[in-house]
Amino acid sequence: MTENYVQRFLLEKLDIRGAVVRLDSVWQQLLTRRNYPTPVIELLGQISATTLLLADNLKQPGRLTIQLRGDGPVPLLVIDCNEALNIRCMAQHSEEIRPASLIELLGHGQLLLSLDLPSMRQPYQSFVPLVGDSIAEIFEHYLKQSEQLAARFFLAASPAGASGLFLQKMPSTDQRDTDGWTRIEALAGTVRPEELLDLTSEELLARLFHEETVRLFDRKAVTSHSPEDREKVGNMLLALGREEVYAALRERGEIVIRDDLGNREYRFDKAAIDELFSNTPGTPPTLH
C-alpha cells in the first residue's frame, strides 16, 4: 500500500496545529532517471516535504515555488507545488558529492519563495538569506520572521521516501497552557528519522503525543503528474530560429531538450525539425 499524503491535525487542548507528510511511491517516481547522490536526495526530499506542508495551506488555486540557491556543490534546489499537492522538483549538483553539512553542500545563498495566485496581478516573491544548520531550521527561521509564530519541522528523506512533521504555535497556545508548547517541542524532538519514514501519521502521533487530545483531519493525496508539452518546446525551438536550430542539428544529429523540473526529455530528429519548420517561411538548409 502506497502512502503519499498530507494530513493535518490539531492538539485541541493546547491550540497547537500541525501536519504530517508522507511520500513513498510519488517520491520514487520523482527520482526516476535522475541518479542524484544520496546527500542531494536527502536535501531535496526534506525541502519537498516542507513545500507540501506549506502548500497545503493554500485556500485557492495557486502555485508555490521554493528555490534554495547557494554557491556550494549543490547550488540549486527547486520545488514546485500547487494547491492540489501536485509536486515537481529538481536539483543541480557538481559531479562528486560526499556527505557533508548543509552549509558545505549549499554554501551561502538565499531562500526564494514565490506564490502565484489567480487573484494576484503578479506573483508574491520573498527573498531571505539561508539561516540555519538544517533544512528544518531554514524554514523555521523563515516562518518566525514572516508569520511571527513559532514553528518546528522534523524532516527525513531517503531514496525510498520523504516525510515530515510540522508543528505551529497559535496566538492562544500560552493562554491554554504556559508550558504546552515547550512540552510538545520536547516530545516531538524525540522522533527518529526512521519513525518519520516508516510510521503512518496515526502511528506517529500516537507515539509522540499519546497523552494529548489529537484531532486528525482527512488526508489529502499527493501526486506528481507533469504532462508532456511538446508543443511548448517546439515553440521554443521556433523562437530560436531556423538557422540556429539546424546548425545544432548538423552538429549533434538530433536536438535534445531536458525539462529538469518536469523530469522529461524531448528529442527532435531531422524529420521532426523539418516538420516543425514546414509551416514557417523559407526552406530548411540541407544537412550534410
Q: Where are the domains of the chain?
A: 5-221, 230-277
Instruction: Assign 45 a pLDDT band (cuts: 50, 70, 90).
Output: very high
CA–CA separation, 110 and 112 (whole Å): 6
0.75 cut: is pTM over it?
A: yes
What's residue 284's pLDDT? 45
Q: How many residues does the chain have?
A: 288
Query: DSSP string spanning 94-123?
Result: -S---S--HHHHH-SEEEEEEEE-TTSSS-
pLDDT tens digits, 91-133: 999 988 888 999 999 999 999 999 999 888 888 899 999 999 9
Least confident of 98-107, 147-156, 165-174, 263-272: 263-272
pLDDT tens digits, 235-260: 888 888 888 888 888 888 887 777 77
What's residue 156's pLDDT? 98
pLDDT tens digits, 144-156: 888 888 999 999 9
Superfamily of domain 230-277: HSP33 redox switch-like (3.90.1280.10)
Please name the amino acid found at residue 223.
T
Q: Are 20 and 195 in contact (CB under 8 A)?
A: no
Q: Are 6 and 117 in contact (CB under 8 A)?
A: no
User: Is residue 57 packed enough to be buried (19+ CB in 10 Å), middle (13-18) or exposed (0-12)?
Assistant: exposed
CATH number of 5-221: 3.55.30.10
Instruction: Choose among 238, 226, 201, 233: nearest CA to 80.
Output: 226
CA–CA separation, 157 and 139 (whole Å): 16
What are the grid coordinates assigned to 236, written together? 521554443
What are the grid coordinates assigned to 11, written together? 492538539
Burial 200-229 (b: 16+ CB within 10 A, else e): ebeebbeebbeebebeeeebbebebebeee
Q: Are 47 and 30 in contact (CB under 8 A)?
A: no
